[in-house]
Amino acid sequence: MPIIKHNMSHLPLGDHKNAPWYGKDILSVGQFGREDLEYIFAVSHEMHDMVDHIGTFDLLKGKILANLFYEPSTRTSSSFTAAMERLGGSVIPINEVKYSSISKGESLADTVRTLECYADVIVLRHPEIGSAAIAAKAARKPVINAGDGIGEHPTQALLDLFTIVEELGYVDGLTVTMLGDLKYGRTVHSLARLLSLFDVRIRYVAPEILRMPPEIMAELEAKGLPQAEHVTLESILPETDVLYVTRVQKERFEDQAEYESVKGAYVITPEVMRAAKERMIVMHPLPRVGEISPEFDEDPRAAYFRQMEYGLYVRMALLAMVLGKS
Ligand code: NCD
The protein residue with its alpha carbon nearest to ligand 1, atom 7, reads 76
What radius of gyration, in Å, describes the C-alpha atoms of the chain?
A: 20
Nearest ligand 1 atom to alpha carbon 246:
12
As a whole number of angstroms, the distance between CA 26 and CA 282 comes to 27
Q: Which of 156, 158, 314 has most ligand 1 atoms within 8 Å of its beta carbon, as the pocket-test mutant?
A: 156
Residue 10 has pLDDT above 80, yes or no: no
pLDDT greater at residue 104 or residue 2:
104
| Residues in Cβ contact with 269 at an 8 Å cutoff, skipping those fewer than 6 apart | 293, 295, 296
Tell me the pLDDT tens digit for each residue of 174-225.
999 999 999 999 999 999 999 999 999 999 999 999 999 999 999 999 999 9
pLDDT at 75: 96
Q: From the CB of 186, is ligand 1 less than 6 Å away?
A: yes
Nearest ligand 1 atom to alpha carbon 71:
3
pLDDT at 103: 79
Handedness of CA 281, 283, 289, 294 (dihedral sign): positive
Residue 5 has pLDDT above 60, yes or no: no
Q: 165 near 45, Cβ under 8 Å?
A: no
Q: 246 near 180, Cβ under 8 Å?
A: yes
| Residues in Cβ contact with 35 at an 8 Å cutoff, skipping those fewer than 6 apart | none
| Distance from Cα 280 to the centre of ligand 1, integer Å | 22
pLDDT at 140: 97
pLDDT at 104: 83
As a whole number of angstroms, the distance between CA 281 and CA 166 comes to 11
Q: From the CB of 155, is ligand 1 less than 6 Å away?
A: no
| Distance from Cα 47 to the centre of ligand 1, integer Å | 23
Q: Which of 69, 160, 179, 187 has most ligand 1 atoms within 8 Å of its beta carbon, as the pocket-test mutant?
A: 187
Tell me the pLDDT tens digit for each residue of 140-182.
999 999 999 999 999 999 999 999 999 999 999 999 999 999 9
Nearest ligand 1 atom to alpha carbon 75:
8
Strand, helix or coil for residue 315 = helix
DSSP β-bridge partners for residue 68: 94, 124
Tell me the pLDDT tens digit for each residue of 41-66.
999 999 999 999 999 999 999 999 99
Of the pLDDT bands very low, low, confident and very high (cuts 50, 70, 90), residue 1 is low
Q: From the CB of 285, is ligand 1 less than 6 Å away?
A: yes
Walk across the sheet containing 64-69 and list its strands: 90-94, 64-69, 121-126, 143-148
Backbone phi and psi for residue 155, each to the nearest 5 degrees, phi listed first: -70, -30
Residue 226 has pLDDT above 90, yes or no: yes
**% of the chain with per-residue pLDDT over 90:** 89
Nearest ligand 1 atom to alpha carbon 125:
3
pLDDT at 166: 97
**% of the chain with per-residue pLDDT over 70:** 96
Q: For the residues of 246-286, what is the DSSP string, one character each?
A: ----GGG-S-HHHHHHHTTS--B-TTGGGGS-SS-EEE--S
Nearest ligand 1 atom to alpha carbon 153:
4
| Distance from Cα 249 to the centre of ligand 1, integer Å | 9
Detail the DSSP E strand segments found in 173-323. 175-179, 201-205, 227-230, 242-245, 281-283
pLDDT at 16: 83
Residue 2 has pLDDT above 60, yes or no: no
The protein residue with its alpha carbon nearest to ligand 1, atom 1, reads 285
Handedness of CA 107, 109, 114, 118 (dihedral sign): positive
- pTM score over 0.85: yes
Average pLDDT along the chain: 94
Backbone phi and psi for residue 276, each to the nearest 5 degrees, phi listed first: -90, 165
| Residues in Cβ contact with 209 at an 8 Å cutoff, skipping those fewer than 6 apart | 183, 258, 262
Residue 318 has pLDDT above 60, yes or no: yes
Nearest ligand 1 atom to alpha carbon 76:
7
DSSP β-bridge partners for residue 133: none
Q: From the CB of 89, is ligand 1 less than 6 Å away?
A: no
Nearest ligand 1 atom to alpha carbon 285:
8
Of the pLDDT bands very low, low, confident and very high (cuts 50, 70, 90), residue 4 is low
pLDDT at 17: 86
Q: Which of 70, 71, 76 has most ligand 1 atoms within 8 Å of its beta carbon, as the pocket-test mutant?
A: 76
Question: In 3D, which of 105, 108, 110 has the Cα closest to residue 145?
Answer: 108
DSSP β-bridge partners for residue 177: 203, 243
pLDDT at 3: 56
User: Phi-psi category of 242—alpha, beta or left, where left has phi over 0 and alpha has psi -120 to 50?
Assistant: beta
Tell me the pLDDT tens digit for each residue of 83-113.
999 999 999 999 877 778 887 889 999 999 9
